[in-house]
Every structure is written in C-alpha cells, then in structure tokens.
Amino acid sequence: MGAQMNDKLPDVTYWLALQIAKHEHVIDLDSAYQGSAELDVLYQLLTSKAQLYWWRNYGIELSPVMVNNAFFRAVAMLHERRLEFSRSRHSADTGWVKELLHL
C-alpha cells in the first residue's frame, strides 16, 4: 500500500481548484454552506477523482478528511478570487483602463 501523506494538502487543494475551474459554472461559497445538489455531485466526482489520480500517479493514498479539506479550501480560494476580481473590476482604480479601452 502507498504512503499516506498529510503534507500534500496544498498540492491537492491546487489540483482540485484547477479541476473546479474547468467547469462552466462558478461555485458560490454561500450556496456551498447551504448545500446544493450540484455541489454534492461535484464533490463526489472530484474527491474520488483526486484520490484515484494521486494513487495512480504518485502511489499516495489520500485520506478522505484531507481530500474533503482540500475540496472546500479550493472552493473558498476560487470564490475569493472571483470576489476580488469583481471588486477590482468595478473600482475607481480601473476607470482609466476602461476609458483607454473604450469600455
């Protein structure tokens, strides 16, 4: 049996964030805490896919707790990135760029 590595949380989080970002719909963190069927399906698919990926490619058995933590950290990271992008896009600091591009 492969090694179980708990120090892989950042790597698995990043990998899951990339997988989540591939989907057309952005996950809203607020709905994640309230629960949704879409999030449940995505969770089941991606956590299973992550465990299989890490086992096949690295011989590492990821614990379900670690994969769970990585999944929700990835969701939070993407949500924060989207919020920050939205804030910066509508701030006064970007007004001159919009004028320059005639937007």
* Cα→Cα distances 11→14, 37, 49, 98, Å: 5, 26, 14, 36
Q: For residue 9, which of 77, 65, 57 has the smallest C-alpha distance?
A: 65
pLDDT per residue rounded down to tens, the chain (103 residues): 445 455 889 999 999 999 988 875 666 666 666 777 778 888 999 999 999 999 999 999 999 999 999 998 998 888 787 777 777 776 666 666 667 776 5
Helical H runs in the chain? 9-21, 29-34, 37-58, 64-89, 95-101
**R_g (Cα) of the chain, nearest Å:** 17
Q: Determine the 3-state secondary structure of 103 from DSSP.
A: coil
Q: Determine the 3-state secondary structure of 4 from DSSP.
A: coil
The rounded distance, in Å, linking the Cα atoms of 75 and 19 is 11
How high is the pLDDT of residue 80? 80
Contact criterion met (CB below 8 Å) for 17 and 47: no
How high is the pLDDT of residue 91? 67
How high is the pLDDT of residue 14? 95
Which residue reads 């379900």 in tokens?
64
Which residue reads 């969701």 in tokens?
75
